[in-house]
Structure 1
Amino acid sequence: MTRLEIDTDYLAKRLKHFLEIPSPTGYTDNVVHEACRELKRLGIKFEITRRGAIRARIPGRKQNPARAIISHLDTLGAQVKSLKDNGRLELVPIGHWSARFAEGARVTVFSEAGTYRGTILPLKASGHTFGDEIDELPVGWPYVELRIDARARSRAEVEALGIDIGDIVAIDPQPEFLDNGFINSRHLDDKAGVSIMFAAMEAMMREKAHPPVDIYFLFSTAEEVGIGASAVLTPDVAAMVSIDNGTTAPGQNSQEFGATIAMADQTGPFDWHLNRKLVQLCRDNDIRYQKDVFRYYRSDSASALASGADIRTALVAFGIDASHGYERIHMHSLRSISELVTAYALSPVEIARDAEDLGPAKGFTHQPTQEATQQLSPKVEISEDEMNPAE
């Protein structure tokens, strides 16, 4: 086995702390600084791009072909579309999420004058006033508004507060960590992925692990709007694994336990060889896993390829229920993926030719075409102790 032991207390602490820091896309400076402080505390060198993406590196015995692990620090949110005559705010979403999950949310408005608290409400919010009409209101962003917790009864009074069109609105996460390992919160996508990466890095630094090649831990700041990893990679990186959520909805194979290996998303199949390696690492290291295909999903891997990066990509997902809403995950999945990250980082390089951008056909990979032979592989089961880590 190559996987390292994960400090789940550290993982949970990191997740709780990152959830406390509002970071909708476009307002990520504070969470970037927090991630940098923790990288410095761990003794890991890093660089930051102009827009705040972080590139941290744990040096290997060789520089090439380098590997990368990536998650994103930004979350869903909203933005002020207009100041309404009734003193409330019209909103547009940041990222793709339904106004159904916005109704009733407590929020923070970031204006140039300072922050204000408020609540997102449907246009008809009082049953005592509208009766059954509140249940007949359509679902959508045009049918909600933000009520500011300040003297704001007109557009003029809102302007006097210093609130303006374009101001960023952060949605409260409302996290709850249960003793049986379940975690409920908004923005687990992708604060959980960020915490997984920190748990893996903590294990590597604690064990003084030396990977065979350089491994970069990348943190993007605009994944929710489709930009993601487009400007944080180095030319040395030959393979990149994204850590993000996998939906456990009907028709999907993702689970809230173990690691979900995504075989494809809406941009097409992930790299055949990299996926095969990740699956084999799960088998060799007794890490529970399952495979899934996502039809309405993009990740940092997609943005990297769209930007022109010629790299192998994969996506490892923690199973999440009600994605982009009131989300739920389990610590078993977070730990499993953290273990997989360490196993991948410490595993030998199998495709030496990937060290070069271009080269001859010699050394290029092959995919099997021969007739299959029946074989059985061990299946990793979850124990009761793993499901209830606090017991």
Structure 2
Amino acid sequence: MAFPNSEDTMQIIKDLVSIPSPSGNTREVITFVEKFLAELQIKTVRNRKGGLIATFEGTNKTRHRMLTAHVDTLGAMVKEIKANGRLRIDLIGGFKYNSIEGEYCQIETNNGKKYTGTILMHQTSVHVYKDADKKERNQENIEIRIDERVQNAEEVRALGIEVGDFVSFDPRVEITPSGFIKSRHLDDKASVAILLQLMKQIKTENMTLPYTTHFLISNNEEIGYGGNSNITPETVEYLAVDMGAIGDGQSTDEYTVSICAKDSSGPYHYELRKHLVRLAEENNIGYKLDLYPFYGSDASAAIRAGHDIIHGLIGPGIDSSHAFERTHRTSLENTIKLLYHYVQSSLVE
């Protein structure tokens, strides 16, 4: 079986992460995904939240599956225009201020104009601030230096910048000769690219799936409710495809597909987890079982919303999540292989 080329998958990831899409401002990236699927003659619909749904009719039309990955990312919003002409920000999503210190960024105004800037400590210059290294990285001390000739709030507002404008971070995406892709926002655009490749393979192979299968590209996962709606009453299984978390005490790595047994929402469905493990072992797919201590997914959001579904979570292993992320092509390959076999398998009973 010829699986999608990992270099092609990484190019799709590169395209996706290069489109700013903090939660709440995802129209442009959803349009990109919509056009990608339209070129494959895969029909999609947008839900009212702005997410995108593609459906493949299966042999069994009374029992459905749903797979989801989220295209929204971490970001920020202008909280205050300071008297010194710089911007105080408020964070979108769960991350720490230290992970964005020194990062280039983009501010998008209400009328669509975009300005660049740099996220810095107010006390950055060691030639002026003796205790620059001791100050806390927090909302009070972190600010955006705008790349325009502005020295006060009035001059900033004259540009059209205002409280509530979205701030996105430069992804700094790079694909290395050794097979790594490193970038911000691999969570979860790596998984979105994987689902796009899977849908392309289903379409080009003219594959008949055993059950009607929905693919949801959600756009509010980072703030907790991206994939908790548009789940048909016929849906039996719901599989979130999201990053596997790497760190001390974790078994997830950058080379295998991570199968999550439990996160902060509690255990994922035991029988579905065992089914995924069996599929991996039967098809020689590299995998790791893991628990993610501070984590939630679209699948757990769907459960909290009250849907009576079997839920699971898998994804490529991503190092340094919510900061300077990285994964390897083999993790992408193992993830898509497991998904390929999963969508053709029987439902968990």
TM-score range, shorter chain: over 0.9
Q: 2:310 matched to which residue of 1?
A: 312
User: What is the alpha-carbon distance in structure 1 between the residues aligned to residue 13 and residue 194 of structure 2?
Assistant: 9
User: What is the alpha-carbon distance in structure 2 between the residues aligned to residue 48 and residue 31 of structure 1?
Assistant: 13
Give the letter aligned to residue 211 of structure 2.
V
After TM superposition, the structure 1 = structure 2 runs for residues 293-372 of structure 1, keeping only pairs within 5 Å, are 293-351=291-349
Q: 2:88 matched to which residue of 1?
A: 90
User: What is the alpha-carbon distance in structure 2 between the residues aligned to residue 304 and residue 316 of structure 1?
Assistant: 16
User: What is the alpha-carbon distance in structure 2 between the residues aligned to residue 286 and residue 254 of structure 1?
Assistant: 17
The equivalent position to 1:137 in structure 2, one of 135, 138, 142, is 135
Question: Deviation of residue 4 (structure 1)?
Answer: 5.8
Q: 2:119 matched to which residue of 1?
A: 120
The equivalent position to 1:223 in structure 2, one of 214, 221, 224, is 221
Give the RMSD, CA atoms, in angstroms.
1.2
Question: Deviation of residue 159 (structure 1)?
Answer: 1.3
Give the letter aligned to residue 129 of structure 1.
V
Segments ≥4 residues shifted beyond 6 Å: none
CA contact (8 A) 2:105 2:170 kept: yes
User: What is the alpha-carbon distance in structure 1 between the residues aligned to residue 348 and residue 323 of structure 2?
Assistant: 40
Q: 2:64 matched to which residue of 1?
A: 66
Structure 1: state its 5+ residue gaps.
Answer: 352-391
User: What is the alpha-carbon distance in structure 1 between the residues aligned to residue 76 and residue 273 of structure 2?
Assistant: 35
After TM superposition, the structure 1 = structure 2 runs for residues 256-295 of structure 1, keeping only pairs within 5 Å, are 256-295=254-293
Any idea what SS the aligned residue of 1:229 has?
A: coil
Give the letter aligned to residue 123 of structure 2.
K
TM-score normalised according to structure 2 size: 0.97
User: What is the alpha-carbon distance in structure 2 between the residues aligned to residue 349 and residue 295 of structure 1?
Assistant: 28
Q: Flag the structure with larger Rg.
A: 1
User: What is the alpha-carbon distance in structure 1 between the residues aligned to residue 280 and residue 93 of structure 2?
Assistant: 32
CA contact (8 A) 2:63 2:211 kept: yes
Give the letter aligned to residue 299 of structure 2.
S
Give the letter aligned to residue 282 of structure 2.
D
Any idea what SS the aligned residue of 1:65 has?
A: strand
User: What is the alpha-carbon distance in structure 1 between the residues aligned to residue 286 and residue 171 of structure 2?
Assistant: 28
Q: 1:108 matched to which residue of 2?
A: 106
Give the letter aligned to residue 117 of structure 1.
T
Any idea what SS the aligned residue of 2:243 has?
A: strand
Quote the sequence identity (%).
Answer: 35
Give the letter aligned to residue 318 of structure 1.
P
Q: Across the two proteins, how many residue pairs are aligned to each other?
A: 348
Q: Does 1:250 align with 2:263?
A: no
- Cα shift readout 1:5-50 (whole Å, capped 9, x = no counterpart): 2222321221111111100001100001111111111221221111
CA contact (8 A) 1:4 1:342 kept: no
Question: Deviation of residue 129 (structure 1)?
Answer: 1.6
Any idea what SS the aligned residue of 1:15 has?
A: helix
- Cα shift readout 1:129-178 (whole Å, capped 9, x = no counterpart): 224x1111112232200011112100111111111111100111000101
